[in-house]
Amino acid sequence: MALLEVEGLKVYFHTRNGVVKAVDDVSFSVDCGETLAIVGESGSGKSVTCYSLLDLLPKPPARIEGGTALFDGEDLLTCDSTRMRHFRGNDIAVIFQDPMTSLNPFISIGEQLIEPLIYHPDPARKQSRETARKRAIELLDEVGIIDPKSRVDCYPHEFSGGMRQRVMIAMALINEPRLLICDEPTTALDVTIQAQILTLIKKLQETRDVAVIFISHDLGVVAGIADKVLVMCEGTIREAGDTDTIFYHSQNDYTQKLLAAIPEGAKQLPNRAQPDNVLVEVTNLKTHFTDYNKPSNQDNVIRAVDGVSLSIQRGEILGLVGESGSGKSTLGRSILQLAPTTAGQVTFDGTSLTGLNAKQLVPWRRKMQMIFQDPYASLNPRMTVYQTLAEPLLYHGLANRKTIDQQVRQLMDDVGLVHSQLRKYPHEFSGGQRQRIAIGRAIATKPELIIADEPVSALDVTIQAQVLDLILDLVERHNLTMLFISHDLSVVRYISDRVMVMNRGVIIEQGDTEALWADPQQAYTKQLLKAIPLADPRMERVRLADAQADV
Amino acid sequence: MTAIEEQGTSLWRDAWIKLCKNYLALLGLAIILLLCLVSLLTPWIAPYGYEEQNLLLGATPPSAAHWLGTDIFGRDMLTRIMYGGRVSLTVGFIATAVALVIGVLWGAIAGFVGGRVDAVMMRIVDIMYALPFMIFIVLLMVVFGRNILLLFLAIGAVEWLTMARIVRGQVMNLRKQEFVEAAYSLGLSQWTIIRRHIIPNTLGPVIVYTTLTIPSVMLLEAFLSFLGLGIQPPQSSWGLLINYGVETMEEYPWLLIFPGVTLSLTLFALNFLGDGLRDALDPRTSKDQ
């Protein structure tokens, strides 16, 4: 008998608008030393499935309508709250998606780590502060925190995102759980960090013989670490099987759709760049900020962009790759004059933008637009789609009261939204649709340059593919020039004609996409390229083993 | 610009549709409108004159002739409350409106512009906070003479401080949101961004605070009047009636109960309406609530 056996699980949400079958008749099992990947888009019920096992769902509206979940022979769904606390504390641990919000900023990480040990309800397992602290240091060492003895007293803000996720993993492991639930543990992380965390989870599982449930929206990520894969859609299981079967012999349409959505390979469309027609010229651009956390007699300057020169040709899609903190977003904002530049020149279509004041910039703003990363934050929640799209047109006098309706409808068509949604507010749309609205707003003024800052990072893989195709289509139809910023190298390769790699405020390498992929010169670029997870289980296992050997 | 304004009404139009489905809020609105209407028509519909004394009658409990009883001078309580409402409601609404306009604008500008402007503007707020309220009012009275309009202004000039702080905090949060940056990159002017993107998103807390301010302003007026700085007897207001009622509550409880009930009723109605408005103005709350 397996460690966890879920049989016919049904979780319904009873909302004002009727019953939503979030999880409908789902069965699976996972054993010690085994990794089960649950893959599906947002809203497929993959997280709800796992949260219902630990009674972490808000009830109401959620209600478990049926099924059993036997953990070591005991039903998790019917046990009382004391018993559930026992399971949560001792046997089942969860790693959440966002390491930035899942640690308490006011308590040192050492203190957070030992909490479950020193307050353990079972006196036999309760430990003194000293032994617990020792245990915490051992665990931090195990998850790869350098110098754990001094780091244990640091606070969460002193750790980077990847390090925080390691701390979260250590926290999950502190009570020696037998089942580890990882809810998209790498989605919020950079590609190199993601590779490290995947390697770490794989290693821990092998050394500790725990069962792992790994939830992800991206089949590519789980290829190397999963033994079994469960594909979910709309609350039901579409396909289940061992990893190789799912990846190589899938019969299911939905699984194939997920596999096809993973961006892979080179750009399919021809390069539209006009070689001698430079639209944007950036020379030795510097954007520095003052770090007020440091005393002013020390070096308290953050050099976000530190001497970047580049040129974008008309019609070109230029990819800008880098990890978080590399300054790539600041570079994008500096080019658009949204961030104050310290030194250097930005020339747009022959005119220098760096010397202009806010008023003089207005006519230029029309010609250069931005698409933001987070479609949940980049739309005003109190404006309807119509208002959002009409605002730039009316403000710049590109439409009058007679033509505005027609023009907004045209924009809706351009980005693939139906007219009946015009009067709706942003919260009524999914992430992908919201990003379409944001794109519509960006192209409303018929700009020449668009800077897209991680436009698909917050989206599911399938939606990501659709939005990428939309962007490519719009570039073609509206004759756009684009700077495409992303940390996801596969996406950049799929969309860009030329790529620049940025690290610590400077461009360290650039070249035509395929040339750079084939023959990277810098060690950093090689490392980035090596960290891309492959959507092929056999190759990915080899890559992970290599990475593990490197550590 | 005019066309933007027209489209800009849809948040309010949607809010109105939603408000109409919230019966509790509608009840609140109805009560407030009724109170306003009664106050407006008081000179014509009041059963007695507000200074009409009947010393022989003295304080009597509610009866057929005097529905809510009479006070120690034999004045009809219903009439007194109706006239009192004129003062209290006017003070409540005008002083709050003054506080609302100054506070929201001040807070929004300080929070949005930030930096040195913010520092200076907020220090001014701090100084105003530190200024003893009574001295401020007395000074105003001395300089400009006693005047009911001045009373509204004085109270409003004190109440906006908290409002400015609340709005500033909200705005500083909003300023970093991507949709504000998007508005920048569209080339919108700062004023347009504040008006169209910032202020509508601060409405939730502002409305709740406003509904809390109105009753507190009414009580503040009573306090000032009690000290002789506000309105003068024989004029009355709800706050004053309550103050006098407290003194005699053991012998003549109705002198406290009826003005008290009226003020509480107003407060309830305002809170229901405020909560309803807050929900109605937030598109994220369901339309079929």
* pLDDT digit string, tens, across residues B85-97: 888 888 888 889 9
Interface test with A, best of B186, B198, B286, B289 (most A CBs within 10 A): B186
pLDDT: is A49 or A99 the higher one? Answer: A49
Query: Which residues on chain A are in Cβ contact (under 8 Å) with B1?
Result: 394
| Nearest residue in chain A measured CA to CA from B183 | A392
Region A319-346 average pLDDT: 88
Region A319-335 average pLDDT: 88
Region A247-255 average pLDDT: 86
What integer best gives the mean pLDDT of chain A? 86
Query: Which residues on chain A are in Cβ contact (under 8 Å) with B6?
Result: 401
> pLDDT of A64-76, one tens digit each?
888 888 888 888 8
Nearest CA to A3 among A97, A53, A95, A70?
A70
Whole-angstrom distance, CA of residue A173 vs CA of residue A117: 11
Of A373, A382, A401, the CB nearest to B283: A382
A400:B3 CB<8 A: yes
- Amino acid identity of residue B4, one-letter, is I
A395:B10 CB<8 A: no
Interface test with B, best of A336, A391, A402, A439 (most B CBs within 10 A): A391
Tell me how close the Cα of B113 comes to any Cα of chain A, in angstroms: 14
Nearest CA to A461 among A184, A230, A198?
A184
Query: Which residues on chain B are in Cβ contact (under 8 Å) with A381?
Result: 179, 201, 282-284
Q: What pLDDT sits at residue A165?
A: 82
Could you tell me which residues come within 8 angstroms of residue A177 by beta carbon, excluding any fewer than 6 positions away?
Answer: A90, A91, A92, A93, A210
Residue A120 confidence (pLDDT) above 90 = no
Q: How confident is the model at residue B2 (pLDDT cuts 50, 70, 90)?
A: very low
Q: What pLDDT sits at residue B7?
A: 46
Nearest CA to A73 among A89, A57, A56, A87?
A87
Measured between alpha carbons, how far apart are the two ends of chain A, in Å? 35
Whole-angstrom distance, CA of residue B77 vs CA of residue B258: 8
Q: What is the dihedral of CA B28, B33, B34, B40, to 10 degrees?
A: 150
Interface test with A, best of B5, B179, B191, B279 (most A CBs within 10 A): B179
Query: Which residues on chain B are in Cβ contact (under 8 Å) with A441?
Result: 182, 186
Residue B93, token pair as written in the block: 């609404």
Strand partners, A368: A449
Most confident residue range from A12-21, A180-189, B160-169, B184-193: B160-169
Region A522-539 average pLDDT: 85
pLDDT: is A402 or A439 the higher one? Answer: A439
Least confident of A334-348, B187-201, B220-234: B220-234
Q: How confident is the model at residue B286 (pLDDT cuts 50, 70, 90)?
A: low
B179:A380 CB<8 A: yes
Least confident of A380-389, B29-38, B241-250: B241-250
pLDDT: is B257 or B284 the higher one? Answer: B257
Whole-angstrom distance, CA of residue B122 vs CA of residue A465: 48
Tell me how close the Cα of A327 comes to any Cα of chain B, in angstroms: 17
Backbone angle region of A265, left / alpha / beta, with phi > 0 → left and psi within -120 to 50 → alpha: left
Query: Which residues on chain B are in Cβ contact (under 8 Å) with A400?
Result: 3
- Residue pair A433/A353 in contact (Cβ under 8 Å)? The answer is no
Whole-angstrom distance, CA of residue A328 vs CA of residue A334: 10
Query: Which residues on chain B are in Cβ contact (under 8 Å) with A362?
Result: 187
Portion of chain B with pLDDT greater than 70, in percent: 95
* Distances A95 to A5, A44, A47, A183, A324 between C-alpha atoms, Å: 20, 19, 12, 6, 21
Tell me how close the Cα of B6 comes to any Cα of chain A, in angstroms: 10
Residues of A with CB under 8 A from a CB of B: 16-17, 333, 336, 338, 358, 361-366, 368-370, 372-374, 377-384, 386-387, 390-392, 394-396, 400-401, 404, 423, 425, 427, 438, 441, 445
Tell me how close the Cα of A204 comes to any Cα of chain B, in angstroms: 39
- Residue pair A245/A312 in contact (Cβ under 8 Å)? The answer is no
A361:B187 CB<8 A: yes
Region B186-192 average pLDDT: 86
Query: Which residues on chain B are in Cβ contact (under 8 Å) with A364?
Result: 187
Query: Which residues on chain B are in Cβ contact (under 8 Å) with A356?
Result: none
Whole-angstrom distance, CA of residue A393 vs CA of residue A386: 11
| Nearest residue in chain A measured CA to CA from B15 | A382
| Nearest residue in chain A measured CA to CA from B199 | A382
CATH topology of domain B12-45+68-280: MetI-like fold (1.10.3720)
Of A333, A362, A394, the CB nearest to B187: A362
Tell me how close the Cα of A441 comes to any Cα of chain B, in angstroms: 9
| Other beta carbons within 10 Å of B214 | 24
Q: Fill in the DSSP letter of residue A458.
A: T
Residue A299 confidence (pLDDT) above 80 = no
Domains defined for chain A, CATH in brackets: 4-97+178-260 (3.40.50.300), 315-329+357-497+505-519 (3.40.50.300)
Tell me how close the Cα of B284 comes to any Cα of chain A, in angstroms: 6
pLDDT: is B47 or A507 the higher one? Answer: A507
B188:A379 CB<8 A: no
Tell me how close the Cα of A18 comes to any Cα of chain B, in angstroms: 12
Residue A402 confidence (pLDDT) above 70 = yes
Region B40-61 average pLDDT: 76
B283:A361 CB<8 A: no
SS3 label, residue A370: strand
Q: What pLDDT sits at residue A57?
A: 83
Q: What pLDDT sits at residue A141?
A: 84
- Residue pair B146/B137 in contact (Cβ under 8 Å)? The answer is no
pLDDT: is B66 or B250 the higher one? Answer: B250
B4:A400 CB<8 A: no
Q: What pLDDT sits at residue B1?
A: 37
Residue A249 confidence (pLDDT) above 90 = no
Q: Give ipTM to 2 decimals.
A: 0.75
B185:A369 CB<8 A: yes
Q: What pLDDT sits at residue B168?
A: 93
Q: What pLDDT sits at residue A551?
A: 60
Whole-angstrom distance, CA of residue A410 vs CA of residue A394: 15
Q: What pLDDT sits at residue A536?
A: 83
Burial class (CB in 10 A: 0-12, 13-18, 19+), B251: exposed
Q: What pLDDT sits at residue B288?
A: 41
Region A338-347 average pLDDT: 88
Residue B287 confidence (pLDDT) above 60 = no
A380:B282 CB<8 A: no
Q: How confident is the model at residue A442 (pLDDT cuts 50, 70, 90)?
A: very high
Q: What pLDDT sits at residue A186?
A: 81
| Nearest residue in chain A measured CA to CA from B8 | A387
Question: How far is CA B59 from its chain centroid?
Answer: 32
| Other beta carbons within 10 Å of A503 | 19
Q: What pLDDT sits at residue A452?
A: 93
> pLDDT of B127-180, one tens digit each?
888 888 778 777 877 787 777 777 777 788 788 898 999 999 999 988 888 899
Of A378, A394, A445, the CB nearest to B182: A378
Q: What pLDDT sits at residue A38?
A: 92
